[in-house]
Amino acid sequence: MADSLDINNKPKNIILICGILLAFIIPVGLSMWMGKVNIAYYDKLLYSRFFYWGTALYLYFYASKFERQPLLIVKENKITIGFFVGSVLVLYLLYIAAAIVSAFPILFGIRDDLSVIKMIARILKGHYWLTVFVALTAGVTEEFIFRGYMLTRLLQLTKNPVVAIVVSSLLFSAMHYKYNSLHELIFAFLIGIIFSIYYLKYSNIKAIIVVHFLIDLISMTVAQHLKLK
């Protein structure tokens, strides 16, 4: 996978490890801090999105200055429009499958705390552009951070695609702790696996950005019109 990634010519391990840790700690730490700030939740939701854009920008400079390599070290493959559309459709179908699998704990009587999700849905209701901004931020920045940066650095570090995919997906899942939802943690892990495999196999981040954006946009829009129990 990812023949366009040279895992032999890599920065020192300590530089890669620091970059991976910072890619996770910065957005999570700032989000935790924002949660304690005494401002309206609408403002928290809005301002926290900029943490992710800031993290992506920081990683761009970190990769350039300390790693001496681009943020996206996987050379993007040129694909046809037909392949791109097909990728989006297949990835979205896999998203539906992941959503179904992640709901299995319900069969064992494990119910999620939906308070955070319901609060976000109430805040976003009637705010179309904020919904789009939140979804766009997730689609672009999270893919750049977790697939474009973290996954590839783990591959450079370990030279093992399975380890890189699993670890980056676990960290991606852990970032969703704030939802207090087992379903969300399982779902994020499965999506991380699916997106990571696609990225390493086809070397194209655009399709997973589009699918990630659509997943968040559609799910948040639907949540605004559902009465969650």
Residue 113 lies in a domain: yes
Q: Euclidean distance between the first and final Cα of the chain, in Å? A: 43
Residue 93 lies in a domain: no
d(CA 204, CA 2): 10
Its pTM stands at 0.92
- Type of residue found at 108: F
b/e map 3-19, b = 16+ CB within 10 Å: eebebeebbeeebbebb
Q: What per-residue confidence (pLDDT) applies to 1?
A: 58
CB 59 within 8 A of CB 16: no
Residue 4 lies in a domain: no
3-state DSSP assignment of residue 223: helix
d(CA 218, CA 182): 21
What is the helix (H) or strand (E) element at residue 194, kind and residue range? helix 182-202
| Residue 228's pLDDT band (cuts 50, 70, 90) | low
**Total domains present in the chain:** 1
Percent pLDDT > 70 in the chain is 95
Residue 214 lies in a domain: yes
Average pLDDT, the chain: 91
Range of the domain at 124: 13-71+98-223
Q: Which two tokens stand for residue 33?
A: 């801090």
Residue 137 lies in a domain: yes
Q: What per-residue confidence (pLDDT) applies to 10?
A: 77
Residue 103 lies in a domain: yes
Q: What per-residue confidence (pLDDT) applies to 117?
A: 81
Question: CA dist 97 to 130, 179, 194, 211, Å?
Answer: 28, 21, 11, 14
